Structure 1
Amino acid sequence: MCDTTNSDDVWYKKMEDCVTPSKPGGSWKPFQERLNAVPFRITSGSVPGVSVEVFEEDNRVWKKHVNAYKRINKILSSGRYRNIMDMNAGLGSFAAALESPKLWVMNVVPTIAEKANLGVIFERGLVGIYHDWCEAFSTYPRTYDLIHANGLFSLYKSGCNAEDILLEMDRILRPEGAVIFRDQGDVLMQVRRIVKGMRWSTKMMDHEDGPMVSEKVLFAVKQYWVASDNTTSSE
């Protein structure tokens, strides 16, 4: 068993041949019940700023968001998107709302996020990883069918260029794969300009609560590049 006092402090740390024990007093519910049950880390007060009420509200909000996504992208529940990534996973509620035997979600917690919630994600029976999106993600090109980016570009506005993050997204997304961006409207306008230059098709939508909400949603699809008379490219 590991001796560390902070099991969430793992970014750029030396790997050890040990296993971190679960919190004393915690009990593991069977999956799928565990997916929406309040994790023991939260009920025990181990996650500052995240109460039972906050967790349950987060679950409710993401079920609402995902239902709105499905109204726009009709194939979201069809099994077409098997490998999915959530680039700013929070408490893992996007993945929980999507849960289906037809897909899996890699929940990424940015290292610069306000809260290190990877332990909460694990307790929900989900998979996840810490990552700094100013660096390349360790995966093969064209691995993911769908990428979800909630508030990611606002989070990294002082960290690294949006172009660099988008190029990394383009690398790991398969042709005809989709991206759902959720962020402030002005941020998404900048993102939209860049991805149009990458030959992605885009569609900007208002928040499901109406046009007066400053948060917007941008749907994008990575296209196959077709050679023209002046250029050649391959996917």
Structure 2
Amino acid sequence: MEACVTPYPKTDNADDVSGGELKPFPERLNDVPPRVSSGSVPGITVELFQEDNKLWQKHLNAYKRVNKIIDSGRYRNIMDMNAGLGSFAAAIESSKSWVMNVMPTIAKKDTLGVIFERGLIGIYHDWCEAFSTYPRTYDLIHANGLFSLYKDRCSYEDILIEMDRILRPEGTVIIRDNEKEIMKVKSIVSGMRWSTKMVDHEDGPLVPEKILFAVKQYWVAGENNSTSSR
């Protein structure tokens, strides 16, 4: 179990707070976490953390222009499948919702400790396996760069079927990835009763990253039979 435990940073002084003091919530959401300011996470600087925060505020504002009910309270249970520094959850912070931040076990940087220090909920998971959802399902699932991360690990079909399983009917999926992976995903979900809309990056169509919005539909009794008989 030691590999799955996120330890507190060590301190040599009994009077010091291990890793550094944390501000009360919600200020700590956007304050630089002690693990970042102390350089405990390789490759994550204070400047990179602050840029990531601004970037996800920008991305979320772009999402809201397409999906205008993100702030309405309609999405109570939210999951970020590739949470990074937790900036998506920090941007969407609302008393009407909570976000499960998932740190893929194959991610290049382990930032779960940063997520915890921001006052957010997080967990490790390998998306080639089933996710334990008991006792809840999710209203909104966000996947940033997830399919590029797993393209050589397991099938997109398996990941998408798992997403479908944990998503409530009329729940929403937002997938952000490069255009090649988005088109592969779009071709699969067309057979999953998801209605989809693909949009360009907020900086314009020349950016190779695209966003796919999808809504899981109710399965209507008898619809399969009428479709197959045509």
TM-score where L is the length of structure 2? 0.91
Matches within 5 A, 1:201-212: 201-212=195-206
Query: Are 2:159 and 1:160 aligned?
Result: no
Instruction: Tell me the secondary structure at the aligned position of residue 225 of structure 1.
Output: coil
Partners of 1:25 and 1:166 in 2: how far apart? 38
Give ranges in structure 1 of 5+ residues lacking alignment. Answer: 12-18
Partner of 1:14: none
Which of 14, 32, 41 matches 2:35?
41
**Contact 1:141 1:173 survives alignment (8 Å):** no
Instruction: Specify the alignment match of 1:138 in structure 2.
Output: 132
Q: Contact 1:140–1:172 at 8 Å: present in 2 too?
A: no
Q: CA RMSD in A?
A: 1.8
Sort the Cα spacing of 1:68 and 1:228 in 2 relative to 1 into closer, same or farther, 3 A.
same
The equivalences for 1:109-188 within 5 A come to: 109-140=103-134, 143-188=137-182
Q: Name the counterpart of 2:14.
A: none
Q: 1:120 to 1:25 in 2, by over 3 A?
A: closer
- In the TM superposition, 1:10-159 aligns within 5 A as 10=4, 20-21=7-8, 23=10, 24-140=18-134, 143-159=137-153
Q: Unaligned stretches of 5+ in structure 2?
A: 11-17
* 8 A Cα contact 2:19 2:35, kept in partner: no
CA distance in 2, matches of 1:229, 1:56: 50
Task: Tell me the distance in 1 between the aligned counterparts of 2:122 and 2:135.
Answer: 19
- Aligned-partner SS, 2:184: helix
SS at match of 2:164: helix
Q: Alpha-carbon deviation of 1:186?
A: 1.0
Q: How many residues align?
A: 219
* Aligned equivalents of 2:65, 2:132: Cα separation in 1: 32
**Cα drift, residue 166 of structure 1:** 0.3
Q: How far apart are residue 229 of structure 1 and its match?
A: 5.9
The whole-number CA distance in structure 2 between the counterparts of 1:229 and 1:177 is 20
For residue 230 of structure 1, report the CA deviation from its aligned partner: 5.1
Q: Partner residue of 2:215?
A: 221
Question: Does the C-alpha gap of structure 1 residues 37 and 132 become closer, same or farther in structure 2, counting only changes over 3 Å?
Answer: same
Amino acid at match of 2:54: R
**What per-residue deviation string (whole Å, max 9, x for no partner) do you get for residues 50-92 of structure 1?**
0000000000000000000011101000000000000000000
Distance change >3 Å, CA 167–CA 142, structure 1 → 2: farther
Indicate if the aligned counterparts of 2:104 and 2:125 stay in contact, CA closer than 8 A. yes
Q: Secondary structure, in 3 states, of the residue corresponding to 1:177? A: strand
TM-score normalised by L of structure 1: 0.89
Residue identity in the other structure for 2:49: F
Residue identity matched to 1:76 = I
Deviation at 1:140, TM superposition (A): 3.6
Give the partner amino acid of 1:44.
Answer: S
Alignment-mate amino acid for residue 20 of structure 2: G
| AA in 1 matched with 2:59 | H
Whole-Å separation in 2 of the counterparts to 1:138 and 1:25: 31
Matched residue SS, 1:41:
helix
Q: Give the share of equivalent positions with the same residue, in percent.
A: 73
* 2:189 pairs with 1:190: no
Whole-Å separation in 1 of the counterparts to 2:53 and 2:129: 29
